[in-house]
Amino acid sequence: MSDLHTSLSDKQSSLSDEQTSLSAQHTSMNEDQTCNILLTGVGGQGVVLLSRVISETAHRLGQGIVVSEIHGMAQRGGIVQSVVRIGPTVNAPMLPSKGADLLISTEPIEAYRARQFISKSTVVVTSISKLVPVPVILGLQAYPPMDKMLQELEELSGRLVTLDSRVMAYELGNSLVSNIIILGAAAGVRVLPLDTQEMLQTLSGIVPKKTIEANIEAFNRGFELANK
C-alpha cells in the first residue's frame, strides 16, 4: 500500500492544504463519538462502492465500524440502502429514527424516502439527477415534485447540499464518475471522521488503475462544491 500511496502522490496534489487540515481537524473532533452514515440510491448508481470506500478507510485506520445493507438489492433499478456506523463503541447495525449524522444519496427521491432518519443534526448530500426507480416505473409510487422534496429535506435537516452529479460528470468527460463526485461532496461537508487523503488512497486501490486520475478529479470537484 505504501508503494501505491507514493505513486499516487502527484495525482493527489490537487487536494489543497486547506482540505487536508479541515479533514484532520474534524477527525479529532469526532474520535470519541459515533458517526452514523446512511447511503441510499438506485441500483447501478454505485452506492455500494461509496459504502465500501468509507468503511474500508475507517477499518484501515483502526476505527470501530459496523456496515449493513438495510433495504433493497444492488441490481439496476432496485432501491439500495447501506448504513455505515463508525466509532469506538459501535455494535448494532441498525440506524434509529432521526439517527443519521450524514445522508448521502445518489437519487433525490431516495433521499426524500429516507427522511425518517433525518434530524436537525443531519447533513444531507444528494444528487438532483433523476434515475426513476422501479416502483415508480411500475406505477406503484408517484415521483414527487423536485422542489417539494428539496424544500422538505432542507426543513428537516441541519444542512442540505445538492448537486447535479450527472451533469458535472459529463462536464468532466466521464459519465461513470457521478457517484464519486457525490462522495467528494460528502467529504467536503466535514461530517465523516476520516482524513480526505486516506479516502482517496482507498478509492485509488478499488477502482481500475486507468480510472484513478478521473476518479480523483471527480472527488475533488465534489469536495470543492460542498466546501464553499
Mean pLDDT by 10 residues, the chain (228 residues): 44 47 40 84 86 96 88 62 92 89 95 96 96 79 92 98 97 95 97 96 97 97 93
**23 touches 200 (CB < 8 A):** no
Global confidence as pTM: 0.83
DSSP β-bridge partners for residue 67: 84
The tally of domains found in the chain comes to 1
Residue 202's CATH number = 3.40.920.10
**102 touches 40 (CB < 8 A):** no
**Cβ atoms within 10 Å of 82's Cβ, excluding its own:** 24
Res 32: pLDDT: 43
How far from the centroid of its chain's Cα atoms is residue 62's Cα?
20
> Which residue type is seen at 185?
A
The dihedral built from the CA positions of residue 40, 45, 47 and 53, taken in this order, carries a sign that is negative
- Which among 192, 190, 215, 189 has a CA at the least distance from the CA of 204? 215
Res 226: pLDDT: 96
Angle formed at CA 164 by CA 131 and CA 78, multiple of 5 degrees = 20
Structural domain that includes position 105 = 2-226
Backbone angles phi, psi at 186, to 5 degrees: -65, -40
Res 51: pLDDT: 95
Q: Where are the alpha helices (DSSP H) in 42-177?
A: 47-60, 108-113, 134-137, 146-156, 165-171
